[in-house]
Amino acid sequence: MKRMLSMIMIVSVVLLSIVGCTSTGQQDAGTASGDNGDKEKKKIKIDMMIASWKGGGWPDNNHPIIKHINEKFNVDLQIQWVPNANFAEKLNVIAASGKLPDVIRMDSPSLYLKWVEQGVFLDLKPHLAEYSSLQNIAKPEEWALLNPKDQIFGIPIYATAQNTIYVREDWLAKLDIPIPTAEEFTIDKFYEIAKAFTTQDPDGNGKNDTFGFSALGNSSLFGIPELFAAFGLANGWKEEGGQLIPMQVQSDEWKAFLTFMSRAYKEGVLDKDFITNTNFNEKYAQGKVGFADMHYQFSQQTNQQLQTISPGADFVELSPPMGNNGSRGNSTPTSGTIKVVLSKDVDDQKRDRILQLFDWWVSPEGEDILKNGIENIHYKKNSSGAYEMTGELKAEGEGRQSLLWNWVLRNNNNTFNTYKWSDPTWAKEMEQSIANAGKYPYKNASDAYIFSSRTYLEKGSALNESFHKTVIEIIAGKKPIESIDHAITEWKSNGGDKIIEEVNAAFTANK
Amino acid sequence: MNAYWKRAFPIYFMILPGFLFFIIFKYIPMIGISIAFIDYSPFKGITGSEWVGLHYFRRLFAEGDFLVLLKNTLLLNLLDVVFFFPAPILVALLLNEVRAKRFKTAVQTILYAPNFISWVVIVGITILLFATGSGGINQILDNWGLGPLELMTDPQYFRWVWLLQNIWQGAGWGAIIFLAALSTIDPTLYEASTMDGANRWRQVWHITLPGLRNVIVIMFILRFGHIMDLGFEHIFLLQNPMNQDVSKVFETFIYKTGLIQGDYSYSTAVGLFKSVVGLVMVWFVNRLAKRMGQEGVF
Amino acid sequence: MRHEKGLDRLFTILVYFILILAAAMAIFPLFYVLSVSFSTEIEYLTRGFFVIPKQFTLEGYMYLLGHPGFTSAFRNAVILSAVGTALNIVLTSLMAYGLSKRWLRFRSSLNFMVFFTLLFSGGMIPTYLVVRSLHLLDSFWAIWLSTAIAPFNVIVMRSFFQSMPSELEESAKIDGSGEWRLFLSIIVPLSKPVIATFTLFYLVTNWNTYFTAILYLNDADLMPLQVFLRQMLVEDDPTISNASNVMYKYTPAAKMAAIILTALPLLVIFPILQKHFNKGVMLGSVKG
């Protein structure tokens, strides 16, 4: 005890003396330049903090596209790329230091809501009318999403359905099964074909090593939401009779779905590894699975890999399978749950400059530069007059020039992954496949309200996790199908009922 | 200036830079512990946020999963203390008995290397071998008609997989500190005992192990400071819906409920709770060690 | 080599047997990593677990060595580790040596001060604020200074110094030579194995710097190797594909080659340092 006391004394004496020495203020000078001349001409520094994904951001802020922007708008664009896994941590730490970056992309709706309440973002509503291109990238309800009435704190990021079910066309041909049309493609048909893929050796290697479809046991909706849609289960939540209903309480739908899935597991139609799978990329490229959940670009990449192993292998697009009561869907994200925000500390002049920049950014001219890059650096015209990637971009990787477009802000065109040099058939098919996926919307009705539920924020993930566990156990044949009812009761009584109540309160309040 | 200060002055001077480091980078930030007792908002700061007292601790103890988290955490740590802790000592003792220098360097380097293979890769390889359907070893078992060994999904294996991977990755690395301690043993002791006719086994028991005692005791005491801590990444990668009843621990819990939503007060409260338990355990083990005539850590 | 008696011979055989077994178990998965780094993607996809690649390719290594991001990250890691470790080892050994003096007043309070930080920390937000108020952000100094001493290492190193024979100190006292001379010309040379050990500990920690770099550095071109490595190994969550529509791929060979190249410097340096801590110091000869 004595030594603890003396330690505390030593520490506090030194602490006091240090605090005394350093507390003489030191404030960042902020934007320098005492020039009071033409305000439009003043160079403005803009800090952006953006989450980076696989491959990371650009190595420095001298990228040709950034240089182009700097010159065009007389700004000094400073982008901080933070790996997505650590983004929230770093953002919180920076927030604690009292000065947010000027522009932030908020990928987490719950943090967005929390910080809107704290009033740290700039209200864009009074200024938007001046910037028509920017205003047109989203519908009014998408601008309003997650915002208080009459205020808009973030620019909504456009999101669209892309994924659907794909099938190995070469396998179908081998087994003499015609490609099912949208009307024919029922969930029973899906199972019948999947079973044939499992038992009739579609890759012709004489081994019983293929299966119908795979799944990601650790991800929401198993990474294959079309199956949930076919059984009428909600994509999280659905609206019915003016009420929002969570998927967890849909007892009958669950039983039908689980019967289907557990049979698939037992018969080897469902990948036996589905619980430990973390991604589909390798599964599909290995050529052992017949149905896939992917989007067009993913399918093209997979086909390329597949064909090095077995020539002729080809994944082609299908409609989502149709359930017995006609329900079907491709998971459709809600545009505007991800926002780009401006810090409230941004002064008027800087705010105008940023909004001018963004207004140009989403215009056709800006899109051209931000998506395709700079001519003669990222792409060039070849002798026949068509565009092609330069060697440098090829070495860096196609798409690496579009980071500002795809990771920061983009407009609502469905061409975000087609470039000037893209094969025209490819580009057309890509756009078509996005249009197709949009035909069967399958939305989470709670996206705007779920984060208003305090119980959900505190207990939601733990509740869903233990519910999810029962689902997996039933599929893997460890528990009978009826045990889902027990899981439903547990989910409801441990906080689920409260979540339903709170989410519906937010829902009705907003109507 | 009296004799003590004359002698001690240079010593204090040696300690000074380290002392300043601890004050500036460890003790000033300790103010942050108070985040556990307030409803912390980064914009209001520590002084501006509302005081909520023990609210977050009550919330933690009231969590439906609290006892499960506690049990899993303690069990995994217990396994680790019992099976992992002695592994590096054993490796060091074995290496110490090797006279062939090249062999020793080679084996030691090989055993040390897994420390640089990240958990993503280690878990990835394990899944590659033991995935229920496509795992290499499971396919062999299947060919022999032994059925799949559901190593990654059956909850009964989880703790052992975790433990074995820990040993695989860390035993060689952990041996280094004990090898360093072995180097401080006076070699004349061995010479004398050989002349007395003692065999190798007796030398290990009567010279080598006592020579390591100090370090072993210190490492053991310090280990108890982390009796509530587990590496997040390793467990998180091994976790799946099937094994979550035995694999959920405070780190994964906090990741899912607190960190993602920026709920710093709650994460801080959980961290503080773990530290206090660690402190109590260390204090207890430290006293035990002192009572047994060992030098403690404080 | 002198002839061993029966029991001792058995003992030796047992020791070698266990070590060979352990090494075999350790090397097996490592071999896989190495093999994949030299193999083609097709082989990786089709063969599952394998140890010898059928088709040998250097593509993964060529890709990395030609990648400007990798070379700059490597350079940063070298600078971070070299300077950081030097600072670590000087500060830690001075402090640990000072605290090993049993006669020192306030010693146990200071020891407790060090120990306490092993368990309790203020967390990253206040530490960040301290680093920021010292104007260290966006420079390596932020990392060097904020991680200058690991309390664990002070405690363990102190116990090493404590186990040194007290005659050393007595003799120095009689000589009338000062504490600094005692430390520099007697203790340090005698403690080479210990210093080598902690140099390795710090070196590995510094080499693995990830989170502090993310936190304190903003410039992408200051990022060290682990940041680069993680950005390669991370799998984008397939269920949030809308957040990142850039389909970007590294071949498995490139990923594994990155792991090998990242670990290589530490694997090379190990036998060099190991020589020191396996040697065994003739404390006895000093005493005599």
Report if residue A108 sits inside a domain.
yes
Return the number of other C-beta atoms located less than 10 Å from residue A251's C-beta: 13
Three-class SS of A13-43: HHHHHHHHHHCCCCCCCCCCCCCCCCHHHCC
- Structural contact between residues A242 and C261, judged by C-beta atoms closer than 8 angstroms: no
Number of A to C CB contacts under 8 A, please give it.
147
- Structural contact between residues A120 and A344, judged by C-beta atoms closer than 8 angstroms: yes
Report if residue A3 sits inside a domain.
no
Closest among A138, B177, A106, A212 to C152, alpha carbons compared: B177
- Spell out, as residue ranges, where chain C has pLDDT lower than 50: 1-2, 239-243, 281-288
| Residue A415 clears pLDDT 50, i.e. is over it | yes
Residues of B in contact with A341 (CB under 8 A): none
Is C119's Cβ below 8 Å from some Cβ in A?
no
Distance CA C43, CA B90 (A): 39
In this structure, are A233 and A133 located in the same domain?
no
ipTM of the complex: 0.91
Per the model's pLDDT, the better-predicted residue between A328 and B135 turns out to be A328
In this structure, are A212 and A317 located in the same domain?
yes
Rounded to the nearest angstrom, the gap between the alpha carbon of residue B69 and the centroid of all alpha carbons in its chain is 18
Distance CA C168, CA A122 (A): 68
Distance CA A236, CA A461 (A): 13
C-alpha atoms less than 13 angstroms from C-alpha of C220 in its C-beta half-sphere: 24
Residues of A in contact with C63 (CB under 8 A): none
Distance CA B13, CA A206 (A): 78
Residues of C in contact with A90 (CB under 8 A): 214-215
Report if residue A429 sits inside a domain.
no
Total tally of structural domains belonging to chain A: 2
Provide the shortest C-alpha distance from residue C47 to chain A (in Å).
9
Q: Are A59 and C227 inside 8 Å of each other by CB?
A: no
Is C46's Cβ below 8 Å from some Cβ in A?
yes
Distance CA A170, CA A150 (A): 55
SS3 for B39? strand
Report if residue A396 sits inside a domain.
no
The whole-number pLDDT of residue A22 equals 46
Distance CA C152, CA C114 (A): 8
Touching subunits for chain C (3+ Cβ pairs under 8 A): A, B
Provide the shortest C-alpha distance from residue A144 to chain B (in Å).
22
State whether the Cα torsion A458-A461-A465-A468 is positive or negative.
Answer: positive
| Residue A25 clears pLDDT 90, i.e. is over it | no
Report if residue A69 sits inside a domain.
yes
Return the number of other C-beta atoms located less than 10 Å from residue A325's C-beta: 9
| C143, amino acid identity | I
Closest among B33, B75, B77 to B56, alpha carbons compared: B33
Distance CA A323, CA A326 (A): 5
| A176, amino acid identity | D
- Structural contact between residues A101 and A47, judged by C-beta atoms closer than 8 angstroms: yes
> What is each CA distance from A287 to A101, A178, A275, A284, B38, in whole angstroms?
46, 20, 19, 6, 54
Least confident interval from A26-35, A384-393, C204-213? A26-35
Provide the shortest C-alpha distance from residue A184 to chain C (in Å).
28
Q: Are C95 and B15 inside 8 Å of each other by CB?
A: yes
Report if residue A306 sits inside a domain.
yes
Closest among A282, A255, C227 to B124, alpha carbons compared: A282
- Structural contact between residues A317 and A300, judged by C-beta atoms closer than 8 angstroms: no
In this structure, are A258 and A286 located in the same domain?
yes
- Nearest CB to B110 within list C27, C121, C274: C27
Q: Are C204 and B264 inside 8 Å of each other by CB?
A: no
| Residue A239 clears pLDDT 60, i.e. is over it | yes
The whole-number pLDDT of residue C275 equals 78
Distance CA B37, CA A193 (A): 59
Report if residue A449 sits inside a domain.
yes
Q: Are A15 and B240 inside 8 Å of each other by CB?
A: no
Strands A315-317 and A330-332 come out as: unpaired
SS3 for A104? strand
**Ordered DSSP codes for B98-147:** ---HHHHHHHHHHHHGGGGS-HHHHHHHHHHHH-TTT-HHHHHHHHTT--
Q: Are A111 and B261 inside 8 Å of each other by CB?
A: yes
Residues of C in contact with B33 (CB under 8 A): 120, 122-123
Residues of B in contact with C284 (CB under 8 A): 186-188
Distance CA C106, CA A7 (A): 8
- Nearest CB to A88 within list B43, B127, B259: B259
Residue showing tokens 């470790």: C85
The whole-number pLDDT of residue A37 equals 45
Strands A154-156 and A379-381 come out as: unpaired
Name the closest residue on chain B to residue A118, using Cα atoms. B43
The whole-number pLDDT of residue B200 equals 84
Mean pLDDT for all residues in chain A: 90
Per the model's pLDDT, the better-predicted residue between A511 and A226 turns out to be A226
Is C69's Cβ below 8 Å from some Cβ in A?
yes
**Domain containing residue A185:** 164-332+444-510
Helix or strand (DSSP H, E) at B215: helix B209-225
Residues 422-461 of A with CB under 8 A from B: 457-459, 461
In order along its 298 residues, chain B shows pLDDT tens digits of 688 888 889 999 999 999 999 999 999 999 999 999 999 988 988 889 999 999 999 999 998 899 999 999 999 999 999 999 999 999 999 999 998 888 999 999 999 999 999 999 999 999 988 998 888 888 888 888 887 889 999 999 999 999 999 999 999 999 999 988 888 888 888 888 888 888 888 888 899 999 898 899 999 999 999 999 999 999 999 999 999 999 999 999 988 876 556 688 999 999 999 999 999 999 999 999 989 888 777 7
The whole-number pLDDT of residue C96 equals 96
In this structure, are A194 and A170 located in the same domain?
yes
> What is each CA distance from A159 to A223, A337, C6, in whole angstroms?
17, 9, 77
Burial class (CB in 10 A: 0-12, 13-18, 19+), B227: buried
Residues of C in contact with B11 (CB under 8 A): 98, 101, 104, 179
Q: What is the pLDDT of residues A139-178, one digit of tens each?
A: 999 999 999 999 999 999 998 999 999 999 999 999 999 9
Distance CA A225, CA A328 (A): 10
Residues of B in contact with A471 (CB under 8 A): 241
Residues 125-184 of B with CB under 8 A from A: 127, 131-135, 148, 152-153
Provide the shortest C-alpha distance from residue A71 to chain B (in Å).
34
> What is each CA distance from B121 to B115, C30, C233, C247, in whole angstroms?
12, 10, 9, 22
Name the closest residue on chain B to residue A90, using Cα atoms. B262
Please, which residues have CB within 8 angstroms of residue C63's CB and are 6 or more apart in sequence?
C251, C254, C257
- Nearest CB to A278 within list C110, C235, C247: C235
Name the closest residue on chain B to residue C270, using Cα atoms. B109
What percentage of chain A carries pLDDT values higher than 90? 75
Q: Are C125 and A417 inside 8 Å of each other by CB?
A: no
Q: Are A223 and C110 inside 8 Å of each other by CB?
A: no
Q: Are C124 and A89 inside 8 Å of each other by CB?
A: yes
Strands A103-106 and A44-52 come out as: parallel
Out of A344, A372, A400, a domain closes at A372
| C162, amino acid identity | Q
State whether the Cα torsion A406-A411-A417-A421 is positive or negative.
Answer: negative
Q: What is the pLDDT of residues A194-237, one digit of tens each?
A: 999 999 999 999 988 999 999 999 888 999 999 999 999 999 99
Strands A75-83 and A44-52 come out as: parallel
- Nearest CB to C104 within list B8, B26, B179: B8
Q: Are C220 and A56 inside 8 Å of each other by CB?
A: yes
> Average pLDDT in the A361-373 region?
96
Residues of A in contact with B245 (CB under 8 A): 469
Residues of C in contact with A61 (CB under 8 A): 220
| B115, amino acid identity | N
Token pair of A121 as six digits: 């973002």
The whole-number pLDDT of residue A399 equals 87
The whole-number pLDDT of residue C281 equals 47
In this structure, are A347 and A475 located in the same domain?
no
Q: What is the pLDDT of residues A481-503, one digit of tens each?
A: 999 999 999 999 999 999 999 99
> What is each CA distance from A323 to A177, A187, A266, A407, B285, in whole angstroms?
20, 5, 21, 36, 63
Name the closest residue on chain A to residue C113, using Cα atoms. A7
Is C232's Cβ below 8 Å from some Cβ in A?
yes
In this structure, are A139 and A206 located in the same domain?
no
Q: What is the pLDDT of residues A94-136, one digit of tens each?
A: 999 888 999 999 988 989 999 999 999 999 999 999 999 999 9
> Average pLDDT in the A281-289 region?
91
Q: Are A279 and C235 inside 8 Å of each other by CB?
A: yes
In this structure, are A114 and A230 located in the same domain?
no
Provide the shortest C-alpha distance from residue C245 to chain B (in Å).
22
Q: What are phi and psi of A482, to 5 degrees?
A: -60, -25
Closest among B296, B88, B290, B92 to B185, alpha carbons compared: B92
Strands A387-389 and A243-246 come out as: unpaired
In this structure, are A87 and A62 located in the same domain?
yes
Please report, for chain B, the start and end positions of each structural domain, with discontinuous segments joined by +: 64-291
Q: Are B14 and C233 inside 8 Å of each other by CB?
A: no
Residue showing tokens 């080499």: C207
C-alpha atoms less than 13 angstroms from C-alpha of B120 in its C-beta half-sphere: 11
Q: Are A18 and B259 inside 8 Å of each other by CB?
A: no
Residues 276-305 of A with CB under 8 A from B: 276, 288
Q: Are C163 and B200 inside 8 Å of each other by CB?
A: no
Provide the shortest C-alpha distance from residue C25 to chain A (in Å).
24
In this structure, are A136 and A244 located in the same domain?
no
> Average pLDDT in the A402-413 region?
92
Is C249's Cβ below 8 Å from some Cβ in A?
yes
> What is each CA distance from A495 to A456, A465, B64, C151, in whole angstroms?
8, 13, 10, 43
- Nearest CB to B257 within list A11, A462, A466: A462
Touching subunits for chain B (3+ Cβ pairs under 8 A): A, C
Instruction: Give me the long-range contacts of A168-176 (CB less than 8 A, separation at least 24).
Output: A168/A197, A168/A202, A168/A289, A168/A290, A168/A291, A168/A313, A168/A314, A168/A315, A169/A314, A169/A315, A169/A316, A170/A310, A170/A312, A170/A313, A170/A314, A171/A197, A171/A202, A171/A203, A171/A290, A174/A202, A174/A204, A175/A200, A175/A202
Angle of helix B209-225 relative to helix B264-291, nearest 10 degrees?
Answer: 150
Per the model's pLDDT, the better-predicted residue between A31 and A417 turns out to be A417
Please, which residues have CB within 8 angstroms of residue C133's CB and are 6 or more apart in sequence?
A22, A26
Touching subunits for chain A (3+ Cβ pairs under 8 A): B, C
Distance CA A171, CA A159 (A): 33
Report if residue A405 sits inside a domain.
no
Residue A331's DSSP bridge partners are A442
> What is each CA distance from A300 to A59, A164, A315, in whole angstroms?
28, 14, 8
Residue showing tokens 């940063």: C76
In this structure, are A139 and A215 located in the same domain?
no
Domain CATH for A464: 3.40.190.10
Categorise residue C141: left if φ over 0, alpha if ψ from -120 to 50, beta otherwise: alpha
Distance CA C169, CA C171 (A): 5
In this structure, are A327 and A218 located in the same domain?
yes
At the topology level, CATH places domain B64-291 in MetI-like fold (1.10.3720)
Categorise residue A352: left if φ over 0, alpha if ψ from -120 to 50, beta otherwise: alpha
Distance CA C21, CA B96 (A): 17
In this structure, are A181 and A295 located in the same domain?
yes
